[in-house]
Amino acid sequence: MQEKIVVAGVERSFGAGGKQTLALGPIDLQIRDGEFLCIVGPSGCGKSTLLRIIAGLINPSAGEVTIVHRDKESHLMATVFQDYSIYPWKTVESNVRLGLDLTNAPKQEAKAKVAKVLEKFRLSKAAKSLPHTLSGGMRQRVSIARALIVEPEILLMDEPFAALDAQLRLVMQEELLTLWQQDRRTVLFVTHNLDEAILLGDRVVVMSGSPGKVLEDIQIPFARPRTGELRGTSEFAAMEARLWSLLRNEVSRNEPDVDPGIKTSSLEEVKSR
C-alpha cells in the first residue's frame, strides 16, 4: 500500500509573543492509502489539532504534511465532526446535497446521486425533514452522508459519535465499519473510545500527554471484514487492556489528578444498563 498522508516533524504551538506553549509534537506519522487509522490519547494532547493541521484548517508551527492526491478530478478530503455540522434550516436532502453543490456537479446527476446516497444511509423517508426532527443517530448519518457523497479520497473524522448515547454509538460504529469495508478509503479517526478504535482501525496510534507525540503505533491484527461480534472475543479484550494500560500510565505520569477522558468498553456500559 502506498503512503497517502505523511506527517513529518509536525509541531504546533499556541499563544502570542513570548508566551507560546507547545501543544503538539514533534509528530512523525505515515498513513497508507486505504488505511483506517485511529488516534487515541489523553484529553488535550493535540488529537484535534493534528487532524485540523492535516485538513489544512490550521498551519503547523514546524514540520510539514504531504498528502498524495491520486486523481486530480476527485475530491481530496472531507471532514465529519462530533457536532454534526449540518445546517438546521436545510432539509436532510439539501444538507446532503451541499457537498455536491460545492463541486458544481450537473443538476440531474446531483439529484440522482443524492437519492442514491440517502437510500444507502437509510435517510430516504426523512429527505424533506429538518434536522431538529431527527434522532442524533440520523443527524450524524446526514453528516457522514454529506461527507461521503463527494467520494473523497480521505475522510477525517473527529469524535464523530461522541454526542451519541452508548447504544446508538455501537450501532453507528457497526454502520461505519460496514460502509468502510465496501470501499476502503483512507480514514483518519480521532476518538476517546478504545473499543471503537480497535473495532474500526487497521492501526491505532496512541498519543502521549501534552505536548502530544506518538507513544505507540499498534497494528490491529483482526481480519476483515469485521463485525460487532469481535467485541465479545478475548483477543479484543486483551487488545483493549493493552491500549488502556498504555494510556493509564501516560495519564498518571503526566497529570495524576486529571480525568483521562478515555472511555473503555462501551459494550460493558450498555450491558450494565
Where do contacts with ligand ATP occur on this chain (CB under 6 A)? Answer: 14, 23, 41, 43-49, 210, 261
Q: How far is the CB of 43 from ligand ATP (least distance, A)?
A: 4
Of 46 and 131, the one with the shorter C-beta distance to ligand ATP is 46
Of 11 and 93, the one with the shorter C-beta distance to ligand ATP is 11
Residue 11 forms beta bridges with which residues?
62
Of 22 and 110, the one with the shorter C-beta distance to ligand ATP is 22
Q: How far is the CB of 209 from ligand ATP (least distance, A)?
A: 9
Interior/surface letters 136-161, b for 16+ CB within 10 angstroms, e for the rest: ebbbbbbbbbbbbbbebbbbbbbbbb
Task: Compute the distance between CA of residue 176 and CA of residue 57 in angstroms, rounded to an integer.
Answer: 25
Of 24 and 239, the one with the shorter C-beta distance to ligand ATP is 24
Contact 38, 201 (CB under 8 A): yes
Beta strands at 62-67 and 203-207: parallel, antiparallel or unpaired: unpaired
Q: How far is the CB of 59 from ligand ATP (least distance, A)?
A: 12
Helices (H), the chain: 47-54, 92-101, 107-120, 136-148, 166-183, 194-200, 234-254, 266-271
Amino acid at the residue 153: E
Burial class (CB in 10 A: 0-12, 13-18, 19+), 130: middle
- What is the CB-side half-sphere exposure of residue 21 using CA atoms within 13 A? 8
Of 49 and 265, the one with the shorter C-beta distance to ligand ATP is 49
Q: How far is the CB of 24 from ligand ATP (least distance, A)?
A: 6
Residue with cell 486523481: 71
Amino acid at the residue 84: Y
Of 95 and 208, the one with the shorter C-beta distance to ligand ATP is 208
Q: How far is the CB of 88 from ligand ATP (least distance, A)?
A: 24
Task: Compute the distance between CA of residue 203 and CA of residue 218 in angstroms, rounded to an integer.
Answer: 5
Of 100 and 206, the one with the shorter C-beta distance to ligand ATP is 206
Of 45 and 118, the one with the shorter C-beta distance to ligand ATP is 45
Residue with cell 492535516: 54
Task: Compute the distance between CA of residue 243 and CA of residue 83 in angstroms, rounded to an integer.
Answer: 26
Q: How far is the CB of 205 from ligand ATP (least distance, A)?
A: 12
Residue with cell 483493549: 240
Nearest residue to 194 (alpha-carbon basis) of 163, 227, 154, 238: 238
Q: How far is the CB of 174 from ligand ATP (least distance, A)?
A: 23
Q: How far is the CB of 129 from ligand ATP (least distance, A)?
A: 30
142 is written with which cell numbers?
446526514
